Amino acid sequence: MSSKSVAPANSLSGTIALSPDKSIAQRAAIFSLLHDGSSTIYNYSQAQDPQTTLKCVQHLGAKVEIEADKICIYGVGREGISALKGELDCGNSGTAMRLLSGLLTGVGLSIKLIGDRSLSGRTMTRIITPLKEMGAHILARNGVFAPLYISRENPLKALEFTLPIPSAQLKSCILLAGLFGEEESCVIEPIPSRDHTERLLQLRVETDALGIRHIYASKSDVIPAQNYRIPGDYSAAAFWLVAGTIVPNSVITLLNVGLNPTRIASLQILKEMGAQVKITEDDSDFDEPVAELTVQTTELTGIDIPLEWIPNAIDELPILAVAMAFANGESHIRGAAELRHKETDRIMAITKLLDAIGSSYVEYRDGLSIQGNPHLDFDGTRFESFHDHRIAMASAVAALRGNKMSSIKDAEVTAVSYPEFWNHLDLLRD
């Protein structure tokens, strides 16, 4: 990979249609495989992770037809899944590896799941433990890392599992395995996480007297066809919401942004900091809440993020840290130890970004305190992406506030989630 140069920006303006939501796209592909019939998905993502998942689905028996504005997936149902090859390559996608591990535990196939260097460095302990309780035999490198060798000789066991942390991937992994069980499995969710899986599969969800969600899955659940349009990725929108706020004289409009309530804590955080974001609801044919967002330049104030907001803002914390660096006063991120187990140690990566722009901070095991300065002044610098798409994009936004040209190492990694990022940045400059 090569470096990308980013010049300072005096303003940003324009309207962009965001890359489709990759979390929804990947689930749509996997659930289409499970449906015994055809599914039509409009606006499927061209990012690397969803494309990797699509290939995995094909290797497990689905037929995929790709057209200009849609893909058609012909699923094989629970009984038709087979391993056309002895291994599945999940690339850089933690979503693919974790969800497919659950599905393959349910099916009972003997198969090997591999990933790239980054994915192979991420711990899989959280899914290995419950899947073994359900009857899976799993071999992993050093007991915790991919490649994963999954098989199951004994009948699938139903599981009642309380999520130790808010994790949509862990939740989805167990529910997908549970779809093959004669008895119901139940995931108990003390703190809500992304709910795309239960939405798209139309699973039974009950809320107890304490407001805690219980999600159920079993062989008796009918897998619906996945016929819908995928909205724009809110995680991608967050970069432009921050850029439009901290770059002077900016007005940016974002079309068809998915606003699933379990995904948008960072929007609330930015609004609490003083960001001016106009929300215009979209009533077109999306199966999730969608809106048009318009953001303009304003001064921000530091924030102490409530702990309960952290799980649903976890992916946006790198770009929120950039916003905090240019805000008035001090900001605090705690309860975010999960950041250390992403594509890279994102807390460490954020500190290096802050070092590059001369921002003051204190690092904790589970977060950061950042001393903001709206007049933060720095010359061109060299940002390290750590081969992490979100760190690369957060660095690009920070670079817009520099006095001279900056560079970002391995900038092409943005293609993992947002292949159009650099083109959209150029568009907003014009």
Q: Residue 406 — pLDDT band, cuts 50, 70, 90?
A: very high
Q: Which pLDDT score is estimated for 282?
A: 74
Tokens at 127, concatenated: 């899914």
pLDDT digits (tens, 9 = 90+) for 343-366: 899 999 999 999 999 999 999 999
For residue 260, which of 230, 289, 235 has the smallest C-alpha distance?
A: 289
Q: Which pLDDT score is estimated for 101?
A: 98
* Whether the predicted pLDDT of 1 surpasses 70: no
Q: Which pLDDT score is estimated for 106?
A: 97
Lowest mean pLDDT of 80-84, 285-289, 292-296, 318-322, name the range: 285-289
Domains of the chain: 4-19+231-429 (3.65.10.10), 22-217 (3.65.10.10)
Across the range 165-192, mean pLDDT stands at 95
Q: What sign results for the dihedral spanned by CA atoms 87, 412, 427, 429?
A: positive
For residue 184, give every residue at least 6 positions away whose Cβ sits within 8 Å of its Cβ, in sequence order, or none. Answer: 158, 178, 216, 217, 218
For the chain, percent of residues with pLDDT exceeding 70? 99
pTM of the predicted protein model: 0.89
Among the options 315, 379, 426, 430, which is catalytic? Answer: 315
Average per-residue pLDDT for the chain: 95
Across the range 146-175, mean pLDDT stands at 95
Burial of 309 (0-12, 13-18, 19+ CB in 10 A): middle
Q: What sign results for the dihedral spanned by CA atoms 343, 349, 353, 359?
A: positive
**69 catalytic, yes or no?**
no
* Whether the predicted pLDDT of 137 surpasses 60: yes
Answer with the residue of higher pLDDT: 294 or 416: 294
Q: Which pLDDT score is estimated for 281?
A: 83
Lowest mean pLDDT of 59-73, 261-275, 281-295, name the range: 281-295
